[in-house]
Structure 1
Amino acid sequence: MSATEKQDVEAGNVDESMTPQGDVDHGEVSDVKRVREIQNSIGFLRALRKSEEWLDKKLGVETQGIERIPEEEKQPPSIWNIFFMWWSLNTHVGTLALGILGPEFGLSLRQSIAAAVIGIVLGALTTSYTGTLGPKLGMRQIATSRYSFGFWGAKLCSVLNILVGGGFGVVNYVVVGQVLSAVSDYKMSITVGIVIIAVVSYVVSIFGFKIIHAFEKYSWIYTFIIFCVLLGQTAPHVDANLKGEDGTSGLYYAGTFLTILAINFSNASGWCSIAADYYCNFPSTIPAWKTFFLTFWGIVIPTTFTITVGTCLGNAAMSVAYPPYADAYDNHGLGGLIAEIYHPRGWSKFCLVLLTFSVLGNNIAINYSSGLSLQLLGHHFHAVPRFIWSLAFAIVVAVLAIAGQENLSAVVNDFVSLLGYWTVSFTLILLIEDQVYRRHDGYELTAWDQPDKLPWGLAATSALIAAYCAGGVPGMSQTWYVGPIAAKFGGDGGDVGIYMSGAITLIWYPVARYFEKKYTGK
């Protein structure tokens, strides 16, 4: 048994009887062996593997896939990267689109910010918790879910994680397309801008963990500065005392408030299914509370700042309806609005070009994690190099962004708010599994890729589905559907699907998992 495994045993994370050295070697080698057999039996996959190895040798493209990282092989960056990484992931032009929704829905500046902050704080709690499993287990986030969802149930989490990344990616691509179009005085189409940012984001993402951490640590700085300038140039036309639209009181107001809260919760919690992807190289000796709070404040501070800037833009353009801003937003979207706010014209174009690259931190993380999620769908998927899956993902998201470029607000509302119904259940399932069922039994670390040693996953999968169907569906408020409970708030309804999903998960999973473990022993 390695020193790390002894530490795990002493900490109560791993059962000593489950981790003999022979099993460690067999478990790790068998997975690689199966993937290599698949690659060697198919000429195309064999060529891709050789290409990946050549790219790694010449350019440093990461060949590490979804395999568990043993303690002795971990190469951790500075622990402060945990904090600063989230600044780059959340301080970018795409997040401004979320801030605009409050005024667009008729809320005042104060109401919009209050709803956003509550949602961000609650959502950050989910991501902060799931991230603590990365150093502890040395695994990617979806791989950690196999200890509750099982080998097959975790595939559902992989698919949902890819959809989460796709939703964020579509928003980012469209906003950047609008920004680049504004830089060209609207001579260049939004579609061309979408293609440009898709290509650049993909190229950076293929270099993997080390480059991503180095990039994310610093890329937020210039964006933060020019956002401060944007806020300053918007401020003269912002009216913090302006009340919300008529009707934003009573149940109608409560419904709108809850919907904005839900969207911001979903935005912050959307990272809960990838956080450990960037923490699995940190040593298991890092206290969980450090990982938790560095993640929590790393999400809350920059997201709140960026959302507040976006809310001020929406207040000036829609609530106050300052004519130049209102016209720019109506005719050219968020990109046109930002171009109008920055002045003089030369400075505006300079800032717009910089803001184009602000989404790279977000996009490359999405591409990277989505590639890993696709590998987790099975051994044949694992046999395809991550850089190929990331390319396929980038192409699909770019196509969706091109198709939805004229309806950004609807895309933001529909895609992002839908995420919360599953992220809250995902987090609570992992929390209950870790703190209740694994507190004494621990994790058999070598079983992560062996279906016969993992739970069946019926309890977790059924809890997720039940929470979505009985909680998310009747409580959701979307452009295309308002659930019967959400409709009780009047108007466009109030999104309470997140709270209902969470409550059902808390009731369903502990009971179902108890019986699953009792009758299967896993």
Structure 2
Amino acid sequence: MADEKNDIETGSRPVPDTDTSWNEEVIVARELQHRNTILHKLRQGEEWLDAKMGIETRGIDRIPDEERRPPSIWNVFFLWWSLNMHVGVLPLGILGPEFGLSLNQSVAASVVGIILGALCTSYTGTLGPKLGLRAVATSRYSFGFWGAKICSVLNVIIGGGYMVVNLVVVGQVLSAVSDYKLTITVGIVIIAVVGYVVSLFGFRVVHTFEKYWWMLTLVLMLVLLGQIAPYVDASIVPQGDTDLSLAGNFLTILAINFSNSSGWCSIASDYYVNYPSKTPSWKIFALTFWGIVIPTTLVTVTGCCLSNAAITAAVPRFAEAYGDHGLGGLIRETYHPIGWSKFCLVILMFSVLGNNVANAYSSGLSLQLLGHYFHAVPRFLWSLVWVVVVAVLAIAGQEHLSTIVSNFVSLLGYWTISFTLVLLVEDQWFRRREGYNLLVWDQPSKLPIGAAAVTALLAGYLAGGVSGMSQTWYIGPIAAKFGGTGGDVGIYLSAVFTLIVYPPLRGFERSKTGR
């Protein structure tokens, strides 16, 4: 036990050997399963699935060093290729020309946003091997036991939003394959079911699946880029009314791409908890950063080129296909001849599986963190509920893909930047010397109260995000200064307010509570 305690105390003084309650949350969940007939049956069902199919039964529990079974360190890099090398990322590039930007401006805004967002995800990912905890469980050391539940809910919403986009795009693609005889709804249901089944098998299968799935998609994306390239006209000037409104549109596209890349910050460490605690943080950071930046940039730039040809240059056959059948119709028209096009569409339809699998897996874990009864319900059931809800939302919103992407995705950035900065300040400032007592990760009375972190999050979102947001339904007073549809500067303001509020409040909280 002494060796275990020294292992789980990261960079801090040893924990007294009398403390043996490090798995209290797991014990409570098991007791609930034993007392409640329904929960007991669900647990038995999960164990049966594990015995027959090898699904993962470990939920949010912390993984000690001696129980970790790490895959290759290169999986950290290739994981992100599968998560981002898919047809669902193309809409991010489509938006630039829709906002009136030139091809060069669209690409520049997208790439800068991708890089800045990847920095957030790369940092939070380093906490996975260090602590052996899932991302939202890690946030308990700043947000507290109860405040971290807010992070759980937001994490579930983020994953759901991205999956809605993926499902709608896949629905359009399948409809295009069938010569528009099948409805978009059929594709949504098919890919939702397949993604859920793969997510059941847990960490090892997810890592193996993600390691290889992106390769064929990469080839098809390069072919797509090559076949649309002759129709791209980079010389067409931007379409904004004024230089200020164009600057606002540029910032909005940057914010959308930032939000996409930073949206992984609250789940990244979920996939790193099996790596040893002594794994160099710089390796995790670098492999995550480039694993996000390279594939996301390639797919997004391809989307910019597709949009340039269909919207900016308005090549008749592309403009007609996009106007009548959305992104699926545009891709079908770009690939040629038609037999090759349909083959590519079928493969691209399944390219979103890597992304959907990860979202379903992590959303199930996040729901378990909402309380002991939530923890007692097996992950596979929570993932099923989540997938059903998301599929219903995708079916309902299938005619409004661009609106979903431009409005929903940028909203996420206000939360992800605050979440990242709170964890960064806590880790690098307040716990730089004393580290983390990982024996208390599930004990509310020994964790921080979380008032400082929750206040900083609210300040960042409400004072910064709301005043700087530019959405279809609301333009904040600062965003409105750019004229036209405004310029989304919410992420920058959220960052400023978070950094202003959190350090002093957290210092005060620690001085009064000692936690």
Q: When the two structures are superposed, what TM-score results if normalisation uses the length of structure 1?
A: 0.97
User: RMSD between aligned alpha carbons?
Assistant: 1.1
The answer to whether structure 1 residue 359 and structure 2 residue 352 are counterparts is yes
Contact 2:7 2:65 in 1 (8 A): no
The answer to whether structure 1 residue 339 and structure 2 residue 332 are counterparts is yes
Contact 2:101 2:240 in 1 (8 A): no
- String of CA shifts for 1:306-345, please: whole Å, max 9, x gaps: 1000100000000000011000000100011101111111
- For residues 341 and 298 of structure 2, what CA distance do their matches in structure 1 show? 21
Percent identity reads 67
- For residues 211 and 16 of structure 2, what CA distance do their matches in structure 1 show? 38
The answer to whether structure 1 residue 99 and structure 2 residue 97 are counterparts is no
Q: Which residue of 2 aligns with 1:239?
A: 233
Spell out structure 1 runs of 4+ moving beyond 6 A: none
Q: Which residue of 1 aligns with 2:443?
A: 450
Q: Which residue of 2 aligns with 1:255?
A: 248
- For residues 4 and 101 of structure 1, what CA distance do their matches in structure 2 show? 51
The answer to whether structure 1 residue 283 and structure 2 residue 279 are counterparts is no
Residue 372 of structure 1, aligned match among 365, 370, 380 = 365
The answer to whether structure 1 residue 46 and structure 2 residue 40 are counterparts is yes
The answer to whether structure 1 residue 269 and structure 2 residue 228 are counterparts is no
Q: Which residue of 1 aligns with 2:296?
A: 303
Contact 2:8 2:439 in 1 (8 A): no
- Partner of 1:63: helix, strand, or coil? coil
1:246 CA displacement: 4.4
Q: Which residue of 1 aligns with 2:154?
A: 160
Paired AA for residue 493 in structure 1: G
- Partner of 2:399: helix, strand, or coil? coil
- For residues 12 and 491 of structure 2, what CA distance do their matches in structure 1 show? 33
- String of CA shifts for 1:226-280, please: whole Å, max 9, x gaps: 0011011101100122211142x42111100000000000000000000000001
Q: Which residue of 2 aligns with 1:26?
A: 21
Contact 1:149 1:456 in 2 (8 A): yes
Contact 1:15 1:443 in 2 (8 A): no
- String of CA shifts for 1:103-133, please: whole Å, max 9, x gaps: 1111011000000011001000000000000
- For residues 430 and 475 of structure 2, what CA distance do their matches in structure 1 show? 37
1:37 CA displacement: 1.3
Contact 1:8 1:14 in 2 (8 A): no
> What is the aligned residue count?
515
- For residues 81 and 217 of structure 2, what CA distance do their matches in structure 1 show? 10
- For residues 427 and 240 of structure 2, what CA distance do their matches in structure 1 show? 47
Map 1:25-424 onto structure 2 (within 5 A).
25-28=20-23, 30-247=24-241, 249-424=242-417
- For residues 407 and 259 of structure 2, what CA distance do their matches in structure 1 show? 11
- For residues 115 and 515 of structure 1, what CA distance do their matches in structure 2 show? 39
- String of CA shifts for 1:185-224, please: whole Å, max 9, x gaps: 1110001110011000000001100000001011100000
1:4 CA displacement: 6.5
- Partner of 1:298: helix, strand, or coil? helix
Unaligned runs of 5+ in 1: none
- Partner of 2:218: helix, strand, or coil? helix
Q: Which residue of 2 aligns with 1:484?
A: 477
- For residues 412 and 26 of structure 2, what CA distance do their matches in structure 1 show? 33
Unaligned runs of 5+ in 2: none
Contact 1:150 1:454 in 2 (8 A): yes
1:20 CA displacement: 3.4
1:5 CA displacement: 5.0
Contact 2:240 2:246 in 1 (8 A): no
Paired AA for residue 403 in structure 2: A
Paired AA for residue 14 in structure 1: S
- For residues 33 and 368 of structure 1, what CA distance do their matches in structure 2 show? 22
